[in-house]
Amino acid sequence: MKKRIIVVGGGFAGLQFIKNLREGSFEIVLIDRLNHHQFQPLFYQVATSQIEPSSISFPLRKIFQKRNDINIRLTEVLSVDPENNSIITSAGNFSFDYLVIATGCKTNFFGNEAIMKNALSLKTTNEAIKIRNVILENFENILNSDNKGNEGLFNIIIVGGGPTGVELSGAFAEIKRDILPKDYPGIDFSRLQIFLLEGSPYTLGTMSYMAKRASEKYLRKLGVILKTGVFVQNYDGDKLTLSNGETLKSKNVIWAAGITGNIIKGLSSEVITGSNRLKVDRMNRVTGYKNIYAIGDIAYMETPKYPQGHPQVANVAINQGKNLARNFRSIQNGEKLTEYEYKDLGSMATVGRNKAIVDLPFIRFKGYFAWYVWMFLHLMLILSVRNKLIIFINWAWNYFTKNSSLRLIIKVEGKNNDH
């Protein structure tokens, strides 16, 4: 009888793990709340109306439709019962021989309930659509408002100067300059201010000094108001309070200041780090458990090269998934397992049209060529040829016309869409 592997999460790590298991070697159950894989690196382009969500969303059943050994269940995992080798979900209990946790991360509001309630975040396709809706509705509200002087409607504030914050800021600055004045000729867009707030001294803090300085230069050139060395203390939906005592009015605050793991209840508190990651050994086995593994952003693995754990990026998740699949084949064959070793291939970020920074282990560069490299590598990560083509056409169209036709406000009638 085949051993059953339950995989929780259809992100980069979970997907690569399953795809690299030999077909028919195990009974595989993939559990996720969503029926599709989300390509997170391009969420910001959905939020800024550059591409459609369907371009970066891939139905799980379509991905695995040729695999008869995979069962997909859309449900919420409530807890795990390690003693009885089962997980408890909203659709019932599932037993396993092996459990692979690939639940990824969610936005970290650092315990501030007011910010969590009132700010927007960008960790799912749905949240990207919500940002697009809120920002576009904001301009409709400006036109409909008797008080055209409402400062809060004219300020877009992004909190967090990592790649997500930098890319969002650059994209909003470009649509402010090239697109919105055409759509809303009745609005004075010289009043629209885009703020990027970062607690450390630099944007792109994990990248090279060249990347930090270049990103700041690009952002300022685009007109983004950059404030570093400040923290957000509170946000009530109208007013943002900073650690230096300054206050900013805004109806549009996007929180991109940190992430925390999506922990499943039932595991020992001793294996959970302060950032809600699961401690694993070099084979991605959760500490203290023989048949429970964690891969991707949720996994915390200390190695000589990375004593503080690996960066939570797609490349780590993809390769941990592949390595664990190889190790499962080794388990079947009674062979020695392979320790995971991360090979840093570099990092990159784009700040807008013709503006990007690429940090590779052997070279660092910026500008036009870096932007082309960024586009090429992201296109290669897109799962289907059809979606690669759609995204490429959208990018080409936007590049030559400086305009897109994707500015749709899409909401479910009868639902509360307040942010």
Q: Over the chain, what is the mean pLDDT? A: 92
Question: How do the domains of the chain map onto residue ranges?
Answer: 4-107+259-333, 113-257
The pTM (predicted TM-score) of the whole model is: 0.91
Q: Which of 252, 63, 261 is nearest to 151 (CA)?
A: 252
Q: Give the Cα separation of 324 and 197 in Å (integer).
A: 38
Whether pLDDT at 207 is above 60? yes
pLDDT class of 386 with cuts at 50, 70, 90: confident
Axis-axis angle for helices 163-178, 209-221 (nearest 10): 20
One fold for 4-107+259-333 and 113-257: yes
Q: Which of 322, 319, 257 is nearest to 119 (CA)?
A: 257
Q: Give the Cα separation of 29 and 196 in Å (integer).
A: 42
Whether pLDDT at 136 is above 70? yes
Q: Degrees (nearest 5) of the Cα angle 345, 351, 357?
A: 30
The two tokens of residue 252 are 């549009």
pLDDT in tens, 344-359: 888 999 999 999 999 9
Please tell me the predicted confidence (pLDDT) of residue 394: 87
Helix or strand holding residue 176 (H, E): helix 163-178
Strand-pair category, 105-107 with 259-261: antiparallel
Q: Give the Cα separation of 174 and 224 in Å (integer).
A: 10
Annotation: CATH topology of 4-107+259-333:
FAD/NAD(P)-binding domain (3.50.50)
Please tell me the predicted confidence (pLDDT) of residue 65: 92
Residues in the chain, total: 419
Whether pLDDT at 410 is above 90? no
Q: Which of 360, 315, 314, 359 is nearest to 212 (CA)?
A: 359
Q: 113-257 is classed in which CATH architecture?
A: 3-Layer(bba) Sandwich (3.50)
Residue 355's φ and ψ, nearest 5 degrees, are -130, 110
